[in-house]
Structure 1
């Protein structure tokens, strides 16, 4: 498509004034462009016309005679112009508001999905930690029993003292290793619980923000 044929500022102003005379209402930039036969850039027409209207209003304000009331036609024109501006401002505000609302909803949905995913992963880790802890508890109990049995056997069988001592030592080392693993698992479990509590707080905060 070719570039719109340019028109002068005065042509734009004259077209707007002609519309106001014929229609008895404020001229709109799109109506001015139609009046000009589709010539001119829409953005430039809007800018030139709005600047003219502003200058006209400022001039009217400076020249206003307090002793004379506005004519009904001028009052109607100014009222219609004000209503049109209010309508356009309201339309722009609602457009911005809807866009912001949609953006907030999208961000909240993404955040909620992320929190739910992380919470599911943490719950899985917590279940695994519980299972591992139970297994280590069982192993620890079994090893303690074995140590006790080894000690009793050592007392009862003095002839096998050296062999049983070595066996008892090995079992004690295994017990120590198992206890170490158990402590580490308990520490990991505490961290997982803490992280899950934080994620739960985030989820509650996100839900509260959505309801607000």
Structure 2
């Protein structure tokens, strides 16, 4: 169950008004002292602030209702018309100038971005051409290497065949030599 406040809002407001009437500043501490040191400072401050805000609002509203532009002297209302026109013209000029400045800044930025894009596009085009040339050269070198490898493979095969023939001939000659050596040694051994 919630605790009832020690001091009512009405009492806080009356204490603040009494302080104002006596020429004192109604801050929460002074209001609490006026109430016999009853109530919390935070609650007193909240209630008094709310009251003074509402009082100021109602005062301003009453003042505004009492005075309207038409009820002012004709000189003031005419001057107000002139001032309003000048303010409107100034605001229009300022708006146009702000728009023109924004447009110029936008165009400068757009041109800078466009130049940057063109520079990068030119760089990438040159880079792409270099890559194309390198790829073409690499393809040529690869084709030449493949042709050279094929030629070397054919030469190697030819050399293997030739080597086999020479090996066969060498073996045949070695057998003939062995036979001759056997014959010669048999002839010397018989003699």
Which of 1 and 2 has greater Rg?
A: 2
TM bin, normalised by shorter chain, reads 0.3 to 0.5
TM-score, with length taken from structure 1: 0.42
TM-score, with length taken from structure 2: 0.47
